[in-house]
Copies of this chain bind each other. A is one copy, B any other.
């Protein structure tokens, strides 16, 4: 098996946000996908070690923020390679809270989708969270960032906890 083959799967790049009481957090993810159209249902794979995993487990909802193609690497690095246990990732970031308390980004994002979790699938290192889209809107006419663009143009890496991490 050639592990590089897995890079032939196409993805976008998103910030998944969640809340637990008055605490909020967010992290980068690429494995967001729609699995049924009626009702519109999304699935998101999150590493069990990640702080956001705890928040989704407790809060039973999440928001998908679609990153804009022009998002800078510093912004991506803050949400992708730092931990919300150590820093307040939202310090200085423009956002508002949804009625369910999840952060909706007001910068570097082309759209958001909020999901109420109906089902969790334990897949070893990760949990696949599944749920219906209860709110969604387009926020700008920017183009969504793809994972290919992130890797090839921005020279971005995957953290070790990503579902698509490949040892180099």
Contact = CB atoms under 8 A, between A and B. Distances in A.
A20 interface: no
- Tell me if A's interface is mostly helix, strand, loop or mixed: strand
Interface residues of A, number: 54
Contacts of A37: 125, 162-166
A6 to B, nearest CB: 6
Interface stretch (A54-62, A80-88, A95-103, A116-124): A116-124
A80 to B, nearest CB: 15
Contact of A1 (B38, B137, B163): B137
A45 B40 CA distance: 13
Closest 4 CB pairs of A and B: A10-B12, A5-B136, A35-B45, A8-B111
Given A36-B126, A38-B124, 11 more contacts: A1-B134, A3-B40, A5-B138, A9-B66, A31-B33, A33-B33, A33-B163, A34-B164, A36-B124, A36-B163, A146-B146
